Amino acid sequence: MKSYVVGFAFSEDKEHVLLIEKLRPAWQKNSLNGIGGKIEGAEEPKEAMDRECMEETGLCLEWEQRGIMSGINGDGKPFECHIFYAYSNTISNFEQREDEPLNVYAVKELHDKKMIKNLRFLIPFGQHNDAQEFIRLEYK
């Protein structure tokens, strides 16, 4: 099973979020998603989140893990994905470091955007910055 991380970087007022327009894998093409990717080797999820964020955005953020998803991915393969959130007014200072476009979006304007389906609840969940909450999602 492959393990991944995904992170949602919000402005401190939680009104804006930094998202990536995916070009790959094929099942995510042209959809918005959080920052993230595969956990490599012996990395811990937090280490992978920090690395992926730096590689994709040039930002060093304070990530907190608030959930985990598992099940069968859009490509039919089993997965596990650790869900992280960060809150910082530096998100607009991102650097475009890879070919998948980054942008800061007003959360209230996301309703008509094409995005990975679970972002419809993962983004509102992140707007409620209650560190006591932890979600476990299993896709069957």
- Read off the pLDDT band of 137 (50, 70, 90): confident
pTM metric for this prediction:
0.93
- Read off the pLDDT band of 132 (50, 70, 90): low
pLDDT in tens, 76-85: 889 999 999 9
DSSP code string of the chain: -EEEEEEEEE-TTSSEEEEEE---SGGGTT-EE-EEEEPPTT--HHHHHHHHHHHHH------EEEEEEEEE-TTS-EEEEEEEEEE-TTGGG----SSS-EEEEEGGGGGGS-B-TTHHHHHHHHHS--TT--EEEE--
The domain of 30 spans 2-132
| pLDDT at residue 129 is higher than 70 | no
For position 121, which CATH number holds? 3.90.79.10
In a domain, 82, yes or no: yes
In a domain, 26, yes or no: yes
pLDDT in tens, 76-116: 889 999 999 999 999 999 999 999 999 999 999 999 999 99
